[in-house]
Amino acid sequence: MNGRSWSTRALVMLVALALGLTGCARIPDEGGVQQGVAVTAHDEQDTLYYPGSPVPGAGPEEILRGFLAAGTGTSDNYGVAREFMTPPAAISWDATASTLVVDADPTIQPFAHGAITVSMNVVATVDAHGRYTELSTMETRTLEYTLEQVDGEWRIASAPAGIVLLKQNFANIFAPFTLAFLDQSRTYVVPEIRWFPSHVTAPTRIVQALLSGPSDWLAEGGVNSAFPRGTQLLGPILPDQGNAAANFSTNISGASGDEFSLMQLQLEESLADFSNIETVSMLVNGARIDVSLPAEGTVVAHSQVSTQPLVMRSGTLGYLAGDTVTPIVGTEGLQRTLPNLHATAGSVSGRVAVAAFLTQDQGVVAVPFAGGAPVPIDDREDLLPPTVSQWGFVWTMAPEDHVVRVADPVYGFGTDVPLPPELHGKVKSLSLSRSGAMMAFAVEINGKAAIATMAVKRDPSTGRPLSLGTPQIDVVDASRAIDLTWADQTTIGLLASAEKGGTQVFVRQLGGTTTEYGGVDGGVAIEGSNTRQGLRICNGKGDVFVPRASQWQASGARVDFLVAQN
């Protein structure tokens, strides 16, 4: 990279953004063995369940049904469920080790030889650290429970770790929370979604998950935590008068001041959604320590782009409001170049003031906002629309090739990043996340459209992309992938041809669920901003559509094409 270091590039970019992107850290603010009645609660989970305790004289199958139903009772560390167990089993059983989400009540086989076998159709799982996995096809799983009598009453002597929940009960009890990790350069927060019961224990489980680090597929790209490995949380986090105190083991003491600041940022960001937490305090072995957030402008906690769609119309690049296109401020030089490019697609990084365009006869070229001659990036045939990272790297790809080309239009370096074998010949669109830590591809696999997401591995000293990590592939109910975009930092919008005809938008929350979001006949492109409501679709005529509930409505504006923002 001609001797340029990643830290130098990051410093230049962040100084330039100091007015717009600083101050990003935020401080937010019954009876029998059947399931009990759901009751709405405030400032805890939306629905609380009060399952029934064991009934005297209940048989083995009744006891097991009651135990499974008691998985909805999160209070007192699943205290009611433990009432169905022998004392040793009640002590050793780990209710939080896993959650199986099922589509119907499990099938319980007759009690025989001291054991009962239970079969269930699993549609999703959650592990001990809150990682949610939505299964592409339903799986039948079988669990075995042993029972014995205690003082004449049947009790469960051994049970698989974890709980089993019906889909609706899971939706009522669990909620997605955003954990804050750090990119390899530690200049961007990389959010990761985890699922926990919306109960008083949620802050504790969130911090414990934070200490365990990011998921393996993110860690492949250098996503990390400032907390030293092996750090333990000593006791629960119980907010008191708006303050959440997190008490850590002494091995955290060896961290530097900058690392403590990053830890504080991670904590505040990860606990930001709790209305009863206004401040977060760090303690080491019970002693409170004075920690401040990172210096202003050194870490981007919320990578945002304009809420207005960026478009190209009649040779002008600008933001669309109603039917008016307003050029980006400071792009006078670029605007003079545009009419001669004959561009058909584009991507812009406002952070480093550079744009890249797919053209009719030059392939992909890049142009700084200040203007000047277009910089050739990639002249291969049949190129996909490019994506530009927040560092200014331009990523391009030809669908049938097995590499993604990465180029630096300012310093002239270029490299080919190998595409994971699972995606060879299957890519239809590509887009980088706002932090630059993840790449998403719209792909077609075995006749189905899908989203493939993976970490970007970089040279630790220069930030130069080297390779892509293990793909996380999420298949949707559509046959042909058309385009995709980042709706926000953890959500991807995929435009695909629906099985029933027309196009359909699938919104995928990484580490969460996929939902259908309506569609537009003849849709050819989709772009996002900062929320799902910021998504826009363009059809082959250039008509722009905006989301309204689960449908799309024509905005009345017509453009040449939508432009990706990063």
Distance of CA 13 to the CA centre of its chain: 25
Percent of the chain at pLDDT above 90?
83
Q: What is the pTM for the complete model shown?
A: 0.89
Banded model confidence at residue 25, pLDDT cuts 50, 70, 90: very low
Q: What is the pLDDT of residue 44?
A: 52
Task: Answer for the pair 478, 505: CB distance below 8 angstroms, yes or no.
Answer: no
Give the whole-angstrom CA distance, residue 453 versus residue 446.
Answer: 17
Residue ranges of the alpha helices (H) in 277-326? none
Give the whole-angstrom CA distance, residue 101 versus residue 133.
Answer: 10
Give the whole-angstrom CA distance, residue 318 versus residue 200.
Answer: 47
- Locate 453 and state its tokens: 């997401």
Same fold, 38-173 and 310-565: no
Could you give the 3-state DSSP secondary structure of residue 279?
strand
Place of tokens 């019970």: 286
Task: Answer for the pair 156, 166: CB distance below 8 angstroms, yes or no.
Answer: no
Distance set, CA 219 to CA 228, 297, 457, 503, 535 (Å): 15, 24, 9, 35, 29
Banded model confidence at residue 522, pLDDT cuts 50, 70, 90: very high
Task: Answer for the pair 546, 539: CB distance below 8 angstroms, yes or no.
Answer: no
User: 310-565: which CATH architecture?
Assistant: 6 Propeller (2.120)
Mean pLDDT in residue range 327-343: 95
User: CATH assignment of 38-173?
Assistant: 3.10.450
Write out pLDDT tens, residues 293-326. Answer: 999 989 999 988 999 999 999 999 999 999 999 9
Mean residue pLDDT of the chain comes to 90
Mean pLDDT in residue range 223-236: 96
**Every domain of the chain and the residues it spans:** 6-28+175-289, 38-173, 310-565
Write out pLDDT tens, residues 106-159. Answer: 999 999 999 999 999 999 999 999 999 999 889 999 999 999 999 999 999 999
Query: What are the backbone angles phi and psi of residue 466, rounded to the nearest 5°?
Result: -115, -40
